[in-house]
């Protein structure tokens, strides 16, 4: 298990970051995909924007966008209604059965 | 660069079976040799296999099983557009003069490991392709008012076309109502909106202008090639109502062939899901943005086979490594006038669009008789 996965298991959302380019390096990588400098780890701000969503068996899954345009797919809970572009909060992350798990909640 | 064309083709039925990958590939090679004139093993300089299968050294294995001792033999893997990537590699060998004839064989087993890109952690726990398809679908429905019934017409049309394809997985027509009422997979995706992973193989012989007439009296030329990879991860698709890699690869292919979309008589599009064909029609320029579903319904109502005459991936099945080659074979047969009941009359110029992993990469080929 790598650091990204270990941190997810501790409910921490971290990503690699290039101090030279001052941007997140996503997907995670040892090197910046712009300058190839060594990347370090950085906590990601847990506020996101809703890009798109759909449902399966009543469960809402979505694309959410975090800082620096970092997009991930996650599960939205406690959402009686949703608007594209609205703010979401990452309430829990985990790593289960080889998959990253992101659970988000709307900020009303 | 030398002029490059397709000289011969071979297919197996797309089905679910217990045959191993090498047997599937060999069956497609046998079919190609059976249907070719004057082709001997000594004519083949390079053998390329396209597959996501984990078996090693397949191109060399198939060469040995086929009695071919090529200069070079190797595999190509690029998920769902492995097949056209293999053809592009073959083109490069022949155009450069490194080879006169290249045999490309694509195959897949339905339980292949290529259905899910495990590397893509941005998909979270939603790794199956139905989730990205659902995202494209909702985005298109919201922006353009596309309905689930509109999307069902893609499946109805392609299943109807597949009835005349002897190699298709499905040989049954479905009504709009049957598609609408098929098993719901997500809120906007039903079972019959989806292509079916299956077992199958396809092969083409790619040859140079100076040798191709030995193998066929009616070669089909590869006049345009465009490829684009924007990323590997699905969430790098910034716009969900269009597919950037499709737009860019089509632009390159048309530029190379000195053609526009209005010149295309027949096309094979990568309808992994119904919404894909609608977006591709718009991105390629067959229909204005937001009007792809109207275009599909008109094809259905008039029984026009211009788009996906063999039934697309939805009707024919989707053995990943074979799909792009089977698409190319359909256009090859159409431009030769040998597509039987699927024939688009007078077709002279055709297009193949094949893509991978939620349109993160695409290939577009333009073929001419």
Condensed to tens digits (0 to 9), the pLDDT of residues B306-360 reads 999 999 999 999 999 999 999 999 999 999 999 999 999 999 999 999 999 989 9
Residues of B with CB under 8 A from a CB of A: 118-127, 130-131, 134-135, 137-139, 142, 185-188, 233-236, 240
B234–A51 CB contact, under 8 Å: no
| Angstrom distance (rounded) from CA B122 to CA B235 | 6
Q: Is the pLDDT of residue A18 over 80?
A: yes
Considering the domain delimited by B126-196+222-368, tell me its CATH architecture: 3-Layer(aba) Sandwich (3.40)
User: What average pLDDT score do residues A62-84 get?
Assistant: 95
Chain A environment of B183 (Cβ under 8 Å): none
* Whole-number pLDDT of residue B111: 87
pLDDT digits (tens, 9 = 90+) for B94-106: 999 999 999 999 9
Extents of the domains making up chain A: 3-106
Which residue has better confidence, B222 or B120? B222
Which residues, including other chains, have CB under 8 Å from residue B85's CB and lie 6 or more apart?
A: B50, B76, B78, B227, B324, B363
Residues of A with CB under 8 A from a CB of B: 4, 26-28, 51-56, 61, 63, 71-75, 84, 96, 98-102
Q: Among B118, B186, B234, whose Cβ lies nearest the Cβ of A54? A: B186
Considering the domain delimited by B4-112+198-220, tell me its CATH architecture: 3-Layer(aba) Sandwich (3.40)
Give me the CATH code for the A3-106 domain, please. 2.40.50
Write down the number of H helices and E strands in chain A: 1, 8
Extents of the domains making up chain B: 4-112+198-220, 126-196+222-368
* Whole-number pLDDT of residue B351: 98
Strands B184-186 and A14-18: unpaired
* Whole-number pLDDT of residue B204: 98
Instruction: Answer for the pair B353, B267: CB distance below 8 angstroms, yes or no.
Output: yes
* Whole-number pLDDT of residue B69: 98
Cis peptide before A27 (omega within 30 of 0): yes
Integer-rounded Cα radius of gyration of chain B: 19
pLDDT digits (tens, 9 = 90+) for B234-244: 888 889 999 99
Longest pairwise C-alpha distance within chain A: 45
> What's the Cα-to-Cα distance from B335 to each of B53, B199, B218, B228, B328, rounded to whole Å?
31, 26, 9, 26, 11
Best probe of the B interface among A16, A63, A79, A92, by most B CBs < 10 A, is A63
CA dihedral (B128, B316, B346, B2) positive or negative: positive
Q: What is the interface pTM, i.e. ipTM, of the complex?
A: 0.95
* Whole-number pLDDT of residue B235: 84
Instruction: Answer for the pair A47, A89: CB distance below 8 angstroms, yes or no.
Output: yes
Same fold, B4-112+198-220 and B126-196+222-368: yes
pLDDT digits (tens, 9 = 90+) for B128-185: 999 999 999 999 999 999 999 999 999 999 999 999 999 999 989 999 999 999 999 9
Chain A environment of B134 (Cβ under 8 Å): 54, 56, 61
């Amino acid at each position: 298990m790598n650091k990204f996965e270990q941190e997810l298991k501790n409910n921490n959302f971290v990503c690699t970051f290039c101090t030279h380019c001052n941007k997140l390096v996503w997907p995670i990588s040892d090197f910046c995909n712009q300058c190839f400098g060594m990347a370090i780890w950085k906590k990601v701000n847990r506020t996101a924007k809703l890009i798109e969503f759909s449902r399966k068996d009543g469960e809402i899954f979505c694309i959410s966008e975090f800082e620096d345009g970092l997009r991930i797919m996650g599960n939205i809970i406690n959402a009686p209604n949703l608007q594209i572009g609205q703010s979401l909060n990452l309430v829990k992350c985990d790593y289960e059965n080889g998959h990253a798990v992101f659970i988000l909640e709307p900020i009303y | 660069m030398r002029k490059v064309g397709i000289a011969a083709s071979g297919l197996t039925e797309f089905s679910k079976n217990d045959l191993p990958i090498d047997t599937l590939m060999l069956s497609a090679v046998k079919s190609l040799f059976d249907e070719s004139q004057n082709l001997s093993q000594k004519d083949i300089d390079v053998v390329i296999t396209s597959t996501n299968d984990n078996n090693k050294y397949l191109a060399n294995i198939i060469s040995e099983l086929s009695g071919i001792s090529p200069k070079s033999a190797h595999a190509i893997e690029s998920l769902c557009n492995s097949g056209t990537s293999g053809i592009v590699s073959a083109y490069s060998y022949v155009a450069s003069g490194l080879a006169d004839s290249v045999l490309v064989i694509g195959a897949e087993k339905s339980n292949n490991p290529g259905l899910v890109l495990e590397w893509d952690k941005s998909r979270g726990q939603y790794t199956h392709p139905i989730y990205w398809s659902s995202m494209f679908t909702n985005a298109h429905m919201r922006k353009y008012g596309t309905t689930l019934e509109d999307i069902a017409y893609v499946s109805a049309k392609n299943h109807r076309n597949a009835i005349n394809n002897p190699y298709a997985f499905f040989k049954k027509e479905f009504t709009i109502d049957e598609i609408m009422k098929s098993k719901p997979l997500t809120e906007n995706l039903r079972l019959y909106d989806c292509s079916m992973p299956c077992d199958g193989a396809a092969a083409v012989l790619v040859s140079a202008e100076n040798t191709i007439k030995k193998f066929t009296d009616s070669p089909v030329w590869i006049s345009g090639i465009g490829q684009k990879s924007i990323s590997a991860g699905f969430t790098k698709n910034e716009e969900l109502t269009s597919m950037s890699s499709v737009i860019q690869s089509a632009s390159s292919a048309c530029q190379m062939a000195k053609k526009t979309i209005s010149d295309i008589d027949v096309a094979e599009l990568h309808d992994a899901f119904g919404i894909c064909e609608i977006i591709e029609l718009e991105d390629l320029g067959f229909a204005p943005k937001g009007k792809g579903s109207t275009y599909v319904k008109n094809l259905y109502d008039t029984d026009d086979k211009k788009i996906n005459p063999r039934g697309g991936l939805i009707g024919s099945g989707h053995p990943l490594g074979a799909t792009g080659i089977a698409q190319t074979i359909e256009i090859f047969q159409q431009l030769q006038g040998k597509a039987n009941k699927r024939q688009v009359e007078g077709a002279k110029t055709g297009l193949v669009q094949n893509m991978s992993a939620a349109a993160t990469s695409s290939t577009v080929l333009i073929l001419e008789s």
